[in-house]
Structure 1
């Protein structure tokens, strides 16, 4: 069946049979079918209209925690299947009419978070945040080993350590991977961790930084804390450094680039991401084995050109572009 896909000012739109499918729209849509892949803020919108909205329960609950209300949603809809995306809790891709939209995706196992399920499809719409060969990340085991060595060395000097990662997704992975250090949580991380735990994710309970500081617990050094990703210029980081002489370790896929540490002002920068790295994106494409590929979000032109060199029919999807596919 012929359909059309286009990038609009409101995100990706698929004109499929007699239906209009909006993939991660930036604004609420009045009709058609909308899909919200996960609860990072750049993928959420305020719901409106009478259309069908497909999302996971975890996504709607996390959205509520972040100030967005998604009430009239479905987890199942005829001829549409949500696929685990391995990005954050509740993150899904969407499979319909032999088309697979990845949303944000990771095929790598990371602690409690299992890598994505990747279906076969004729058409693939894939993110390519790290779609350049320079972005190949170390293994999780190597990352954990290196960070444990850094923490151990700093503890030997009596230094507190703050692990900085995005408060939804990466902070929970860090909380799990380094739970043996009995970390405190930044208040914002604690809220998300508590919600994850309600969905059965095995994260240890701990107290937030405000309570820890008010009780004088941060005076008893060394200690470990999991906090949101923020720069060295942030007031919280400045306070922790000036009062407690804390050392920061920042986690991001962008740490694979030498520019990351300078830009964020962390004492250490570690490459860790909830997205596929370059090699994993190539593996994702091979697993899907599509006839047509559209690249979105990230190095869209570079990754599409790379795929063409590998023999795939691939193109970047940009606003005002439109194409037919089978």
Structure 2
């Protein structure tokens, strides 16, 4: 399996333990001819403000810091068994980490980015940094946000699909999500589960239309989703016992099912919203992943073009 054979691993300067590196080595060890790039973007504004120094001297100071960080990354790599894995360390000077990461994705033609996230001490949900959100919205390749735990053998992988929309874009994204979950399952000997949330009957309808039959409507909606789920799971050869169709909001249903089956990874799609809509509106994926207590693999729709893609003259 060569699906993830060119992985970009983002270092976390806040801790010695590197969950992203551990996860990348695990995935790479399951494939063939895997290459990892252990990557760090650093910046210190004080080095730009040293007016007493020449541009050459400032650059020399930056290079010194970069070399120190490269040595640190190499020391971290040496703590792992990386036999058979080609690992390169790379440190760049950039004031926007997410832009540096995405630029490296394009330059290195990486097919997966792995970055560590942090668990909330009390609730267990993931705490996302601004860099995480930018990557989820703008990174052209899949982004795996990892927590500090190991994936168990025969672990559970949950693919979150949207069966409410019948347009081709959503159907393609559903297939992509399931195929990606199956690819990971093949690598780590895991098991794929499907989950879909369908909406409850709107309260305003039952109030405004007294003759409205709530039960008939609810049964029809659930029936539609069950039929659509059956077609999807049969298409991908997934047994019925591993397909969940639940009433409620996706941001409630998906984390609940993930906890119920003790999922180590949730795979879902994100539309890559940017601008004001990203700031004030958000989307289902972003509301959902705030509540997850496991790793997340986020995918973009087919044909997605990152706003940070290199310009073609």
Task: Give the TM-score, by structure 2 length.
Answer: 0.23
Bigger helix fraction: 2
Question: Of the two, which has the highest radius of gyration?
Answer: 2
